[in-house]
Amino acid sequence: MSARTKARKRALDVLFSADVSDISLTEALEAEAERAVNEPDRASSWLYAREIIDGVIDHGVEIDETIETYSRGWSLERMPAVDRAIVRIAVWEILYNTEVPAAVAVDEAVEAAKTLSTEESAGFVNGLLATIASTAN
């Protein structure tokens, strides 16, 4: 597993835990930052994970508006929490991180959905993100 894939998973864990624990993303980020200090062996994944989380915090309104616009009948509240987190990360990468090709962001999100979510989630995530990526260019 690449360092960026590990970082995405780590960011996903933070976004998901904030969502299901009903705490702010900033609080969840602070807790993870404290853990990161005590886990130097995971430092390589922490920097990009933090960049993702900071990006989702900074652009959260725009990211959620984009998801709502293109999700066709699925509000954010209707999506499983893990799908919300996966899609938020990928949308941030597609719209705000020029270092990651959109196709890579979509592929990583689809793989995460296959592994961590429902049977139907991978197709939903793929369709949603492919549409967003095609409009972002």
Domain ranges of the chain: 3-136
Model pLDDT, residue 74: 84
pLDDT on residue 72:
84
What lies within 8 Å, CB to CB, of 52 at 6+ separation is 7, 8, 11, 89, 92, 93
What's the pLDDT at 83?
97
Residue 89: name the closest of 70, 108, 111 by CA: 108
- What pLDDT is recorded for position 137? 66
| pLDDT score for 39 | 79
CATH topology of domain 3-136: N-utilizing Substance Protein B Homolog; Chain A (1.10.940)
Element (H, E) at 85: helix 81-96
pLDDT of residue 119: 84
pLDDT confidence of residue 20: 94
106, 130 Cβ separation under 8 angstroms: yes
Supply φ then ψ for residue 36, to 5 degrees. Answer: -60, -35
Cβ proximity of 81 and 123 under 8 Å: no
All residue ranges of the chain with pLDDT < 70 are 137
